[in-house]
Structure 1
C-alpha cells in the first residue's frame, strides 16, 4: 500500500543534488524515455498536482508516491524557469531515442561527402532544438539570433566533418569512424554558446541561497554554458569513440550483426550520467563575479551572501 502523505515539499530534491550519485538518480528519472510517450493531458495533470502541492491544496488521499511521480513528469516535460511544457523533441527524455537513431546513421553513413553533410545537418538541427529548449529561459533570444546560431553551428559541423572526411580518405578505417565525433564535439562548442548568446551578452539571473534575485552575471553564464558543453561532449563520447573500436574488431563476425543494432544502448546510461557531471543549480562565489556586481552584493548584504546560484540549463 502506498505511504500516506505527511508534510511534503514538492520542490525539495528526492535525491541529494550535492553528490554525483544523487544527481544521477535524478536524471535517470527525468530522462526516462517512457515519459516522452505520454499524452499532453497526462503531463498537464501532473503539473496541476505539483501546483496543488505548492499551494497546499492537495486532493484528499494523495500519496507521496503519486507526488514523486507527478514531479518526475513535471521535471521531464516542463521548463524549470517558465513552467511551460517543452516541445517533445527538445526534452531530455527524447535524447535517448532521438540521439540513438541519429548517432546510428552518422556512424553508419560516414564514407561519402553527401551522406556526411546530410546526417550532420540532421544532427545539428536536432541539437539546436535541444539547446534552445533547455536554455535558461530568463534570457530571451530573438528569432534572428536563433537563425544565426543554427546556421553557424551547422556550418561548423559540416566544415569539420567534410574536411576530416576528405583528410582521412587514406587513413585506417577506424580513424574515419571517429570523424562524426570530431564534428559533433566541434559543433557543440559553437552550437550551445551561440544558441544561448543572450546569456553571455546580458548575463544570467543569479540568486542567493533562498532564491532572492541579486542581478545578472556574464561570468556565471560562461561557467554554466561551459559545463553544458562538457556534458554534451561527454554524452556523445562513449558511443562515438569506444563503440567504433568494438565495431571495427567484431562486426566481421556473423553473431555481431544483430548485436550491433543495440550498440547505442550506452545512451540510456550516458544521457543521465553526462547531465549529472555538474549540479543543475550551479553555484559561484561572490568573489568571482564581475567587480560591479560583486560590490553591489557586498554593499547590500555584507558577508551574509558568499555564494550565488543560477540555473545552468542542460
Structure 2
C-alpha cells in the first residue's frame, strides 16, 4: 500500500512539475518574442524555477501534512512540526533555484556577449567549448555554494511552532520549553 502511494505521489509530482515548467516556458516564450534575445535565453531558468517550486513541495507533501521531526539541542526527538517542514521545504526550493541560477543565467550572458562581439561568427567552433566551459565552471561552484546557504540541521524558534506543538512542549518541559528546536532541512531529499 505504502509503495503504491509513493509511486502515485512521484507520478503526480512529475506530471505537475513538468506541466508547470512547460507552461511557464511556453507562456514566457510568447511574451518575450519582441524583447532582446538575452531575455529569451532566461526562459529556461524560469521554467526550472517553476518546476522546483512545484516538484519539491509535492514530493514532500507528507511532511507538509504531518510535520517533520523536531529535536532539542541534545538530539532528543520532541515531536513533529508542520511549521518546521514548511521552513525546510522553502529553504530547499530556494537552494535548488540558486543551484540552477549561475549555469542558466551566466552561461547565456557570456554567450550573448561573445555573440555581440562577433567572436562566435569568426570562430563558430567556439560555441560548444565556450558553452560547456562556462556551464562547467558555474556548476563547479554553484552546487556547493547553494547547498551551503542553509545548514542541514536547521533551527526554528519555539514561538514559530504551531500552537498545539508549543502546548505539548510546554507540558513536556514543565513550562520551560527550549528557545529553539531543530530539524533536518532535507536538502538531499527530492
Q: What SS does structure 2 have at the residue aligned with 1:284?
A: strand
Partners of 1:267 and 1:221 lie apart in 2 by: 28
The runs of 5 or more residues in structure 1 that have no matched partner are 1-140
1:243 positional shift = 2.3
**1:306 maps to which residue?**
179
The reply to whether residue 240 of structure 1 matches residue 70 of structure 2 is: no
Return structure 1 stretches of 4+ with deviation > 4 angstroms: none
Partners of 1:259 and 1:154 lie apart in 2 by: 29
Query: CA deviation digits over 1:242-280, x for unaligned, max 9?
Result: 221121011441284333331112111110100111110
Within the candidate set 142, 145, 156, 1:270 is matched to: 142
Q: What SS does structure 1 have at the residue aligned with 2:133?
A: helix
Within the candidate set 136, 155, 159, 1:283 is matched to: 155
1:304 positional shift = 5.1
Partners of 2:59 and 2:87 lie apart in 1 by: 15
Is 2:169–2:177's contact at 8 Å kept on the other side of the alignment? no
Partners of 1:202 and 1:270 lie apart in 2 by: 32
The reply to whether residue 292 of structure 1 matches residue 156 of structure 2 is: no
Partners of 1:185 and 1:306 lie apart in 2 by: 34
CA-atom RMSD in angstroms: 1.6
Q: What SS does structure 2 have at the residue aligned with 1:185?
A: helix
1:184 positional shift = 0.8
The reply to whether residue 215 of structure 1 matches residue 75 of structure 2 is: no
Is 1:250–1:256's contact at 8 Å kept on the other side of the alignment? no
1:166 positional shift = 2.5
TM-score (norm 1): 0.53
**2:53 maps to which residue?**
189
Query: CA deviation digits over 1:105-127, x for unaligned, max 9?
Result: xxxxxxxxxxxxxxxxxxxxxxx
The runs of 5 or more residues in structure 2 that have no matched partner are none
**1:202 maps to which residue?**
66
1:212 positional shift = 1.0
Within the candidate set 244, 261, 286, 2:132 is matched to: 261
Larger relative contact order (C-alpha < 8 A, sep ≥ 6)?
Answer: 2
Query: CA deviation digits over 1:46-93, x for unaligned, max 9?
Result: xxxxxxxxxxxxxxxxxxxxxxxxxxxxxxxxxxxxxxxxxxxxxxxx
Partners of 2:157 and 2:33 lie apart in 1 by: 49
TM-score (norm 2): 0.86
Partners of 1:206 and 1:228 lie apart in 2 by: 17
Q: What SS does structure 2 have at the residue aligned with 1:142?
A: helix
Query: CA deviation digits over 1:209-239, x for unaligned, max 9?
Result: 1111111110000000000111111111111
